[in-house]
């Protein structure tokens, strides 16, 4: 079980075309692939970086997406997440 959730509140975020970087109150910066969250991958840069920080999650109001800090830390990908190949196409047959 994850303890000390107060130290794991999101306080800052940067999302580019490849990675979602989340800074937590304990000073850690956690980065995960954007493709883990298909709505985020499909969003425009301005939508990706318009966020609301909740006590234990991040909310993107423009695309109606919520991601918990625990899911990021545990490496839980959203349903339907598929990595892109080098051409930018979804890799078929990838098991998650």
Q: For the chain, what are the domain ranges?
A: 5-73
Can you tell me the mean pLDDT for 67-88?
84
CA dihedral of 31, 36, 40, 43, whole degrees rounded to 10: 110
Give 35-60 as a 3 state SS string.
HHCHHHHHCCHHHHCCCEECCCEEEE
Can you tell me the mean pLDDT for 7-30?
94
pTM of the model: 0.79
- The more confidently predicted of residues 96 and 40 is 40
Cβ atoms of 82 and 46 closer than 8 Å: no
Q: Which fold has domain 5-73?
A: NE0471 N-terminal domain-like (3.30.2020)
**How far is 84 from 78, CA to CA, in rounded Å?**
15
Angle (nearest 5°) at CA 24 between 45 and 13: 10
- The more confidently predicted of residues 83 and 5 is 83
The confidence score (pLDDT) of residue 80 equals: 84
């Amino acid at each position: 079980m994850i303890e000390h959730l107060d130290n794991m509140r999101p306080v800052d975020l940067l999302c580019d075309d490849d990675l979602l970087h989340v800074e937590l109150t304990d000073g850690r910066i956690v980065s995960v692939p954007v493709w883990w969250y298909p709505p985020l991958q499909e969003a425009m840069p301005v939508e990706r970086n318009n966020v609301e920080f909740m006590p234990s999650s991040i909310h993107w109001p423009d695309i109606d997406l919520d991601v918990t800090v625990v899911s990021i830390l545990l490496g839980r990908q959203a349903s339907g997440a598929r990595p892109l190949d080098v051409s930018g196409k979804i890799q078929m047959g990838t098991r998650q």
